[in-house]
């Protein structure tokens, strides 16, 4: 289980690093100005996929090993039960022989009565032992099923994560906003209400001029994560596109408070052009170093 846990933690950390990189990047208006989404080198992608295949193989080997171990235990328990039953019956017969001899000498009872009483006792004892070992075997079977379900769930989660990772890579390379939305929808089918997928879907909706749609998507993200800087930034863009200047400045201010790196992106954001002449906007984003006079 130590190896399995280590690989799961490794896969989770890599995926989390990808999500954090995607969350830190704002919506770019042009390909040349701001890079879009998380970028992962081909070497790292191949390495991750290779590690996931190795982890899947290790999990299959672990499941086979667990099945073999439980089967051996069941056989061992059954063998011990049969040995114990055989020894018990043998000792009972010795006891019957001794007791019958004593009773025959003392005249307390006949051998037939003694035999019947011992037989009844032996049947009760055998029934008790059988029930006890059946209960133990049932417990072992339940434990095996539980572990098998856990292994199957982990394998499904790894496959789901692998597919989501592939969809993210395709989305970063897709130039069409509509195609990106389709990829984000597929991610949301695998992992409903994923905040990052919703935020980037809002970004693509803004590219299509669907400000109200983007606004709705950002609201869904902020219902779960109030301080999601990416969703706040995208919602500010949507408010600006709808002419709601006050709401746009409010969301932009909250986004910059969470992630100060958004300040420089806001200076060149096309959606914020109607805000450039406002003193509050200039206070939020500061002075553009490239536009400042030299000297």
Q: What is the pLDDT of residues 200-251, one digit of tens each?
A: 888 888 888 888 888 888 888 888 888 888 888 889 898 988 888 888 889 8
User: Residue 29 has what pLDDT?
Assistant: 46
User: Residue 291 has what pLDDT?
Assistant: 45
**pLDDT at residue 89 greater than cutoff 50:** yes
| Listed range (102-106, 161-165, 263-267) with the worst mean pLDDT | 102-106
Of 3.30.110.60, 1.10.3720.10, 3.40.190.10, 1.25.40.10, the CATH number of 193-285 is 1.25.40.10
Q: What's the pLDDT tens digit per position in 95-116?
A: 777 766 665 565 555 666 767 7
Q: Taking the domains of the chain in order of start, what are their residue ranges?
A: 2-12+39-173, 193-285
The Cα 23–Cα 274 span in angstroms is: 25
* Residue whose pair of structure tokens reads 């779960």 in the numeric block: 224
Helix axes 42-106, 2-24, angle to 10 degrees: 150
Structure tokens at 162: 């692998």
Mean pLDDT calculated for residue range 243-262: 87
Mean pLDDT calculated for residue range 35-59: 75
Higher per-residue confidence, 282 vs 289:
282
**Distance set, CA 279 to CA 5, 239, 249, 259, 267 (Å):** 53, 18, 11, 21, 13
Structure tokens at 56: 């899947």
User: Residue 245 has what pLDDT?
Assistant: 87
Per-residue HEC secondary structure of the chain comes to CHHHHHHHHHHHHHHHHHHHHHHHCCCCCCCCCCCCCCCCCHHHHHHHHHHHHHHHHHHHHHHHHHHHHHHHHHHHHHHHHHHHHHHHHHHHHHHHHHHHHHHHHHCCCCHHHHHHHHHHHHHHHHHHHHHHHHHHHHHHHHHHHHHHHHHHHHHHHHHHHHHHHHHHHHHHHCCCHHHHHHHHHHHHHHCCCCHHHHHHHHHHHHHCCCHHHHHHHHHHHHHHCCCCHHHHHHHHHHHHHCCCHHHHHHHHHHHHHHCCCHHHHHHHCHHHHHHCCCHHHHHHHCCCCCCCCCC
Which band of pLDDT confidence, cut at 50, 70 and 90, is reported for residue 124? confident
């Amino acid at each position: 289980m130590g190896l399995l846990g280590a690989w799961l933690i490794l896969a989770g950390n890599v995926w989390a690093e990808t999500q954090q990189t995607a969350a830190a990047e704002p919506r770019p208006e042009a390909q040349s100005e701001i890079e879009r989404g998380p970028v992962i080198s081909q070497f790292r992608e191949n390495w991750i996929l290779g590690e996931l295949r190795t982890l899947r193989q290790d999990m299959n080997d672990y499941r086979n090993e667990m099945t073999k171990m439980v089967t051996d235990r069941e056989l061992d328990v059954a063998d011990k039960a049969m040995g114990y039953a055989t020894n018990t019956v043998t000792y009972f017969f010795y006891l019957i022989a001794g007791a019958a001899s004593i009773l025959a000498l003392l005249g307390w009872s006949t051998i037939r009565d003694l035999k019947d009483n011992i037989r009844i006792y032996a049947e009760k004892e055998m029934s008790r032992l059988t029930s006890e070992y059946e209960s133990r075997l049932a417990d072992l079977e339940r434990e095996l099923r539980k572990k098998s379900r856990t292994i199957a769930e982990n394998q499904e989660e790894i496959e789901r994560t692998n597919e989501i990772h592939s969809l993210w890579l395709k989305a970063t390379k897709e130039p069409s906003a509509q195609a990106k939305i389709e990829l984000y929808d597929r991610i949301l089918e695998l992992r409903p209400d994923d905040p990052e997928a919703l935020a980037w879907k809002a970004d693509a909706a803004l590219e299509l001029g669907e400000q109200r749609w983007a606004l709705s998507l950002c609201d869904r993200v902020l219902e779960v994560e109030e301080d999601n800087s990416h969703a706040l930034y995208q919602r500010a863009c949507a408010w600006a596109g709808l002419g709601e200047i006050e709401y746009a400045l409010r969301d932009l201010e909250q986004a910059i408070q969470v992630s100060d790196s958004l300040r420089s992106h806001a200076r060149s954001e096309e959606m914020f052009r109607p805000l450039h002449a406002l003193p509050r906007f200039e206070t939020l984003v500061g002075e553009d170093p490239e536009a400042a006079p030299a000297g």
